Amino acid sequence: MIPELGHFALIVALCVALVQGVLSLAGAHLRRPSWIAVARPAAKAQAVLIVTAFVCLSTAFVQNDFSVLYVTQHSNSLLPLQYRLAAVWGGHEGSLLLWVLMLALWTLAVAVFSKQLPEAMVARVLGVLGLVAAGFLLFILLTSNPFERLLPGAEDGSDLNPLLQDPGLIIHPPMLYMGYVGFSVAYAFAVSALLSGQLDAAWARWSRPWTTAAWCFLTLGIALGSGWAYYTLGWGGWWFWDPVENASFMPWLVGTALLHSLAVTEKRGSFKNWTVLLAIAAFSLSLLGTFLVRSGVLTSVHAFATDPKRGIFILLFLVVVIGTSLALFAWRAPKVGLGGRFGLLSRESLLLTNNVLLVVACASVLLGTLYPMVIDALGAGKLSVGPPYFNSVFAPLMIPALFLMGVAPFARWKQASVAELARTLRWAFLAAATVGVIAPFFFGTWKPLVALSLLLVAWIVLATLLNFVGRVQATRAGGSFVGAAIKQPRSFFAMHVAHLGIAVFVVGVTMVNGYQAEKDVKMEVGDSVTVGGYTLRFNGVHTQQGPNYMAVVGDLDLLKDDRLLRAMNPEKRNYVSSGSPMTEASIDTGLFRDVYVSLGEPIDKARPEDAWAVRVYYKPFVDWIWGGCVLMAFGGLLAITDRRYRRHAAPVEVAALAQKA
């Protein structure tokens, strides 16, 4: 009964989404207040309906209702409760339901927090979101219904993929989807601006916090996925340039460009067309990501669907969304106008350079991701594009971007002077160069790439400090430094925190790539192996019973300078219901290094208690990679909570602002 209720809720939600889409847009176009008024209640009703559907599916999982096909495929009565809940989005159908749930929640947030926006604008934004929701609901109902019954019901389910039975999976997909789907709000704002022809600074200001919020979630979602891969795949890698990872990274790159471009549009009224194009691109890439991951084009832990009907539906949806928005853009954009002019060297031109670098980076990722699929689809052979391609393209693109990150905050809008910038920043640059040249000596061998990266890191940090101190001094007016510092707007802190996040991230990447050590060795009881100054002693293995698996647990001691630090217990699990094996690494996490151990396989399968192939890693500064991402997201959070978004401007005032601009 409960699954049918969920199914019914989805059908009603589709109807509501269509009403929300068509009536709101038509109402805004024909200026009919009664139709416009439908938008907000419809958005709320839709949220209630989809939450209902989601709760119904979760209930089926909690109650082990194996008469629901999807539950049977992705759960098992032995599965612990938290993983039964996470299993709701552990497969194709459920993860689409999660997608729609996120969309409904974003739509609800727009409906609730948009009191200061003109009603017609809200109606257009909600209308566009409604149409997107309708597309996805249609997809679910036609091709991927999670509530489909299995009659007669199965006795037990076939269990969740063991790789996914991990706390990381509980939060990674929702975070990532919040990011993906969040860009639909930026997209809806862009499309409604094109529809209304009102593309101005006010529009950029409304659109900005939503974009930033989506970007924060996406940043965290990607970081979580990377962390999850690091500790569950047993390879100790944090990024593989796997097509699925690339699918989430492309919207991030364009989203980052969009954040910067929106800043220019808000402050100077320039880049309007470009900003709109980026908003369309960010959402299109999110959809492309969904298509790549969900269509079965790719085969990986993320790819559930192999039904070609689904792939074709998403592809069609993609074509419709991109096609109509680009057509709309081509029709409307020429009317938008260019906005403020700016000099060859100005903050605008530096941010434009940042945008170009990010977009080119995204385009090169897109090339490397799609090319093998296109060649395969044409039947011209199988090939792959290796990580060396991405690495060799990324470094030269990101080096100038990191350098400019130090300069741009000092550059004036409209026209900046080289001499002035050089005067302000010369000492910072000299100091950074010194750090870059000297620092690598402390970590072992001197490597040119490490030196260059650390130079850029020191450069960003010093330039940030200088900019901060300079601005506080300028606004101090005789008061205390601290007092003036805390009075700075949050958006100012936000930028610097996010930039420092990048610096922290770069430290992690540089050190891991430059100085990690790994060893695959055979270990007999009593053997020791040393990596990066740490020694691991193998004392044998024992078996252990888990809730739904049997594990062989390695007993190892971690020593430094003959002093025992801790015991390490990597596991090799074998899941009962699916019979699939799974490696659980043991990691000693530290601020400056991780020591990572995982069990390979017994040397002699008949005598697993004797000797094992063991993988041991020393990973310097690896946690800084994710720490940097958290800092970036925190920067985003500061930006959203800036005072100017909290102020509830009277609608009249905003309307007047919109008219003026």
Return residues touching other proteins (CB under 8 A).
Answer: 161, 163, 233-235, 299-301, 344, 356, 360, 364, 367-368, 371, 376, 381-386, 388-389, 392-393, 396-397, 520-522, 578-583, 598, 600-601, 603, 611, 613, 615
Closest approach, Cβ 234 to other proteins, in A, equals 7
Q: How far is CA 578 from CA 8, 81, 585, in A?
A: 33, 18, 20
Of 483 and 581, the one with the shorter C-beta distance to other proteins is 581
- Please answer whether residues 450 and 395 qualify as being in contact, where contact means their C-beta atoms are separated by less than 8 angstroms: no
Closest approach, Cβ 603 to other proteins, in A, equals 5
> Over the Cα atoms of the chain, what is R_g?
27
Closest approach, Cβ 599 to other proteins, in A, equals 9
Of 281 and 458, the one with the shorter C-beta distance to other proteins is 281
Of 42 and 595, the one with the shorter C-beta distance to other proteins is 595
Of 90 and 130, the one with the shorter C-beta distance to other proteins is 90
Closest approach, Cβ 361 to other proteins, in A, equals 10
Where do the H-state alpha helices sit in 269-339? 272-294, 308-336
- Please answer whether residues 193 and 122 qualify as being in contact, where contact means their C-beta atoms are separated by less than 8 angstroms: no
Of 112 and 367, the one with the shorter C-beta distance to other proteins is 367
Closest approach, Cβ 301 to other proteins, in A, equals 4
Helix (H, G, I), strand (E, B) or coil at 363: helix
Where do the H-state alpha helices sit in 558-622? none
Of 401 and 639, the one with the shorter C-beta distance to other proteins is 401
Of 101 and 614, the one with the shorter C-beta distance to other proteins is 614
- The Cα 590–Cα 492 span in angstroms is 31
Of 407 and 633, the one with the shorter C-beta distance to other proteins is 407
- Please answer whether residues 169 and 86 qualify as being in contact, where contact means their C-beta atoms are separated by less than 8 angstroms: yes
- Please answer whether residues 201 and 141 qualify as being in contact, where contact means their C-beta atoms are separated by less than 8 angstroms: no
Closest approach, Cβ 240 to other proteins, in A, equals 10
- The Cα 511–Cα 256 span in angstroms is 24
Which tokens hold the place of 317? 């949806």
Of 382 and 643, the one with the shorter C-beta distance to other proteins is 382
Closest approach, Cβ 388 to other proteins, in A, equals 5
DSSP strands (E only) in 546-610: 549-560, 563-568, 571-575, 581-584, 586-589, 593-602
Closest approach, Cβ 257 to other proteins, in A, equals 15
- The Cα 557–Cα 253 span in angstroms is 42
The number of C-alpha atoms within 13 Å of 61 and in the hemisphere containing its C-beta is 27
- The Cα 259–Cα 252 span in angstroms is 10
Closest approach, Cβ 162 to other proteins, in A, equals 9
- Please answer whether residues 553 and 543 qualify as being in contact, where contact means their C-beta atoms are separated by less than 8 angstroms: yes
